[in-house]
Amino acid sequence: MPVPDFRAFTVLYSGLALRLTSDLAISEAFEPRCPPVALPIQLTVKALWDTGATGCVITDSVAVSLGLAPTGAVPVTHAGGVTNHSTYMVNLILPNDIQFAGVSVVACPDNPAFSAIIGMNVISRGDLAVTSTSGKTQMSFRVPSIDHIDYVREYQRILYADVDPSSPCPCGRTTADARPVSFEHCHLPLIS
């Protein structure tokens, strides 16, 4: 079986995380396949992963530090209402050199906990998994998306691991004439 071509990174937190964060490098947008002779300034910040945000966000101070020129303004809906905020075009680089070029971001007021938000316009381009085993949260992200994660299917594979395909299905399903349905004609196709 060929090895899928993807990039990934994992963050293991020291306890149960109430916020998912990672490092994020940000620069003015440029085409990575033909970069300028003098690369733009790059700033590495702490980014919050937010599945409730449709797009990515940087703070006003990040925009100023990078010398970004606004590309426009958009209304942003948040807990305090709706306000207009400047937009910018940037390149984003996640850990393990996962790059997104030409991403439109919105600026927001500075926040002491993080300087950027990774929104669904980036998250939906890959697979994001969050687990909290043994009291420690772990976040893992890969690009591009290569498979669905289905904990129900995983549970059923474990539950039915020792069932002979020709034996009656453990769920107890029967045919119209009350004969047991075999596992191979009931749940096996759902978990293979």
Three state DSSP letters for 73-134: EEEEEECCEEEEEEEEEEEEEEHHHEEEEEEEEEEECCCCCCCEEECHHHHCCCEEEEEEEC
From residue 3, alpha-carbon distances to 120, 121, 146 in Å are 27, 26, 11
Domain count, the chain: 2
Q: Which residue type is seen at 50?
A: D
Per residue in 80-113, pLDDT tens? 889 999 999 999 999 999 999 999 999 999 999 9
135 and 167 housed in the same domain: no
Domain encompassing residue 173: 151-191
Query: pLDDT class for 158, splitting at 50, 70, 90?
Result: confident
| Predicted TM-score (pTM) of this structure | 0.83
Q: Are 78 and 61 in contact (CB under 8 A)?
A: no
pLDDT the model gives residue 60: 96
Residues 72 and 161 in one domain: no
Q: What angle do CA 144, 29, 146 make, to 5 degrees?
A: 0
Q: Is residue 87 located within the same domain as residue 121?
A: yes
Specify whether the backbone of 79 is left (phi greater than 0), alpha (psi in -120 to 50) or beta.
alpha
The dihedrals phi and psi of 51, each to the nearest 5 degrees, come to -70, -10
In a domain, 51, yes or no: yes
pLDDT given at position 147: 86
pLDDT of residue 19: 96
Q: In the sheet where 7-12 sits, what is the strand order?
A: 7-12, 136-143, 127-133
DSSP state string for 9-45: EEEE-SS--SS-EEEEEEEE---TTS--SSPPPEEEE
| Whether residue 168 is found in the same domain as residue 123 | no
174, pLDDT greater than 70: yes
List the single range of 16-25, 59-68, 116-125, 176-185 with lowest mean pLDDT.
Answer: 176-185
